[in-house]
Chain A
Amino acid sequence: MSETQNSIFASYEKDSKFYDEIFDEKGNVKKVYQTLFDLYSGHSSQDFAKLNEKAKASFFNQGITFQVYNDKEAKEKIFPFDLFPRIIGQKEWDVIERGVLQRSKALNHFIWDIYHDKKIIKQGIVPLDLISSSENYLHQMIGIDPPGGIYNHVSGTDLIKHSDGKYYVLEDNIRCPSGVSYVVCNRTALKRALFGVFNHYNAHSVTDYAQNLLEMMESVKPRGVDEPNCVVITPGVYNSAYYEHSYLAKAMGVELVEGRDLFVENDFVYMQTIRGPQRVDVIYRRVDDQFLDPLEFKPESMLGVPGLFSAYKNGNVCLVNAPGTGVADDKAVYTYMPQIIKYYLGEEPILNNVQTYHCSRPDDMKFVLENIDKLVIKPVDEAGGYGISIGNTLTKDEIQKVKKTIMASPRKYIAQPIMSLSVHATYIEESESFESRHVDLRTYCLLGANKDFVLKGGLTRVALKKGNLIVNSSQGGGSKDTWVLKS
């Protein structure tokens, strides 16, 4: 190592318990990162401090921010962006891409089945209570055939790399997976901040996502429509993901609507324009199921459109994603993914599942209660990293509390071995140097009628707190630009 490398990487601790994305076991830089490493060596720690400030200012000025609510007021924060990109080679990516698409397709079959014949339950592959006890199973969806037969048009599968160097799927998000706008922004910011770095690598572009999203939406247009009018619906400017909603609408060149812009007449959906009503055919909805239509779901919802579900049921509008997909991104369904893939596609799963214990099963429950210190306990239906207990960080009292909560509602909890998320070099402001931090990877997959697409890239999320395994932005996580190489 040269001296410059020493100064920037002086605080980088190598820990053999985790898979290191940058360094091999002997402490040498991996081949794919070598060029990047050499280039970075030309910069001093002051250079990086400056670049870091610039990148932050660029995000802030563009208003690429999210709101954090504390006791008194909403604060505008940028999603921390890291200057060291993650690089994924072509072969490695190929497996991820095929695996993600396989899961997405299998889940689509699964959702169709559980809202129609329920064969998979009748044949005893998955238990009935997986669905009957799920809050996200919508009886309103039973028997409905969505345009193109597609339910989970947009999926975000989260992957990690364990200490064995293999990818594992943590979860499949098929309600409203977010974050894709950051993938594009991170790329732009990195290209600007680190002038002359990107062109040394032959990485896939990520800007084609919006085009593919629009093509996918057009592919699931209702019957009898030639040129569908596609829109994005948002809960509004105060939603934490509003930037993303406006970005997607702008990038696709379609209208960004709110519930109050739309109305339903004779089971057709219209939006109010300056020239009167205009029909809407495909809606990429970033509003949760329960808020979509006050006539059908939560009656007090102000975000939705009265009559929207009826228009959907009659096939006059397509909702992306379909209502009721939440039943399949339940963490309990996750544990049956290998069986689900085999049942519908007749294939072996390409990506690994993490070993999961269901607290609803007596044997598993017993094991969980005896081994809490070695497990991660997760509620099956929470998002955003909330409600998670990591066994080896708990005190004795806390363990007792967790045990009580599990015993009170076993169906609500699953447990998994503590997975060792791989580590990556991450710029840390306090030390003005690169340190090792845990990362995961969110992928984005689109499924349409005769159309599928996996974004070549993704959101590498990084836990900025030392030793922390939770990467969600609401819990202090940041993100990295992710390069998928062409060769």
Chain B
Amino acid sequence: MLARVANNLFWMGRYIERAEHLARYLNVNYFSSLDAPNEKSQSRELVLHSLLFMANGPVPKDYELTEQNVFFDIGLNKDVPYSIINCVKYARENANGARDLISTELYESLNKFYHFVLNYDADFFVKKGLYDFSTQVAESTAVLRGKIRGTLLHDEVYAIIMLGVNIERATQVVRIIQSKYYDALKSQGSYGDKFSKSYEWVTLLKCIESYDMMRRYYKKTPTSISTLEFLILNRDCPRSVMNSLVQVNNHINLISRDKHPEHNSAAFLIGKTHAEYCYKTVDKIEEDVELFIEEIQDTLIEIAKKIENEYFKY
């Protein structure tokens, strides 16, 4: 496979995944805040701030925090790099560069998705269409995942796409944990809510589509500790950081084929991170959540850089 095309496939996977997390976060976080049991969690400012933070990091001071501004920027603003419309556009552009390698079915689904987002009425979206738009984006990405899995050869092409998908998934899940962690800190206080039993943990689980399965697994109301354990360390939760690392490890091995990878290689770093997570406990993470977040974010960036250097140079 051409190095340039591998780069295209990797980023196609990343952008599809990113669009999905953005759409779901927008949808779930906004709607579940409407009837939150606590005043602070209901606060428009907290929610809008949280949405923007998740999409683009710290919010600039002069940003006019209105619903319509935030929705438009995250959803359909072509002039900001983090918007869903740009994610889908970049995903399609990358697919164009690898069009001869992917299936007609996958390309057609992505192309239809692109035209759906491109033609979505912005005015309707910011006033009434949030639920409709974000739900359809999430559905389209699910279709794309199905086409990737069900219509491509599970060879190197697939492995490269899945590397992109899973690195991005871990990145976005950590980002969502970070956003909701701050929300939980901020919403403490009224009605005697404690940080560990904050309503924000339920929202966090729902944002990652893991609430129902978490209930099934623990049979208890989510707390900070059980939520973090589930979303970071649970191997069977398909959205957990651990699960993403398992997949990244499997797929890099398919590509590198090196049983004893060199110490500074991507495969080595991925294997090492994976092994570390096998023996991590949630108590350690909870001691300093911010430090954990910083470390895993740095590691994911380092992994992506190494993959790029080793496989995508042309």
Contact = CB atoms under 8 A, between A and B. Distances in A.
Contacts of A62: 104, 107-108, 111
Interface residues of A, number: 22
A451 B97 CA distance: 32
B111 A237 contact: no
A63 interface: yes
A61 B112 contact: yes
A249 B100 contact: yes
Interface string B292-314: 00000000000000000001111
A227 B289 CA distance: 57
23 contacts: A61-B108, A61-B111, A62-B104, A62-B107, A63-B107, A63-B111, A232-B100, A237-B97, A242-B96, A242-B99, A243-B99, A247-B100, A255-B1, A255-B5, A260-B314, A272-B2, A272-B4, A272-B313, A273-B2, A274-B1, A274-B2, A274-B6, A274-B156
Interface string B103-127: 0100110011001000000000000
Given A246-B99, A260-B314, A261-B3, A274 B255 contact: yes
Contacts of B67: none
A114 interface: no
B3 A272 contact: yes
Contact of B2 (A60, A63, A250, A255): A255
Nearest to A271: B2
A194 B178 CA distance: 55
Contacts of B209: none
Contacts of B6: 274
Interface of A: 60-63, 232, 237, 242-243, 246-247, 249-250, 255-258, 260-261, 271-274
Chain B interface helix/strand/loop/mixed: helix
B91 to A, nearest CB: 13
A273 B100 contact: no
Given A250-B100, A260-B314, A274-B2, 18 more contacts: A60-B115, A61-B111, A62-B107, A63-B108, A63-B111, A232-B100, A243-B99, A246-B99, A250-B101, A255-B2, A257-B2, A261-B3, A272-B2, A272-B4, A272-B314, A273-B3, A274-B1, A274-B3
B93 interface: yes
Contacts of B2: 255, 257, 261, 271-274
B107 A237 contact: no
B246 to A, nearest CB: 22
B97 to A, nearest CB: 6
A469 to B, nearest CB: 34
Nearest to B3: A272
Contacts of A258: 4
Contacts of B93: 237
Nearest to A246: B99
Nearest to B110: A63
Nearest to B6: A274
A256 B255 contact: no
Which 5 pairs of residues, A with B, have the shortest CB-CB distance?
A249-B100, A246-B99, A272-B314, A256-B100, A250-B100
A436 to B, nearest CB: 34
Interface residues of B, number: 25
Nearest to B104: A62
B308 to A, nearest CB: 11
B313 A250 contact: no
A132 B112 CA distance: 51
Interface in B1-47: 1-6
Interface in B215-269: 255
A273 B1 contact: yes
B78 to A, nearest CB: 12
A319 B314 CA distance: 22
B1 to A, nearest CB: 5
A336 to B, nearest CB: 39
Nearest to B2: A261
A20 B179 CA distance: 70
Interface string B67-109: 0000000000000000000000000010011011100100110
B99 A250 contact: yes
Contacts of A273: 1-3
Nearest to B96: A237
B314 A246 contact: no
B251 to A, nearest CB: 13
Contacts of A242: 96, 99
Contacts of A250: 99-101
B282 to A, nearest CB: 37
A249 B96 CA distance: 13
A242 B96 CA distance: 9
A62 B111 CA distance: 7
A274 B100 contact: no
A408 B107 CA distance: 51
B272 to A, nearest CB: 22
Nearest to A243: B99
Nearest to B1: A274
A232 B2 CA distance: 12
B100 A246 contact: yes
A175 to B, nearest CB: 22
B307 to A, nearest CB: 10
Nearest to B99: A246
Contacts of B156: 274
Of A232, A242, A246, A258, most buried by chain B (CB within 10 Å of CB) is A246
A63 to B, nearest CB: 4
A274 B311 contact: yes
A26 to B, nearest CB: 46
Contacts of B111: 61-63
B242 to A, nearest CB: 27
Contacts of B1: 255, 273-274
A261 B100 contact: no
B104 to A, nearest CB: 7
A272 B7 CA distance: 12
Nearest to B94: A237
Contacts of A257: 2
A84 B186 CA distance: 67
B100 A260 contact: no
Contacts of A271: 2
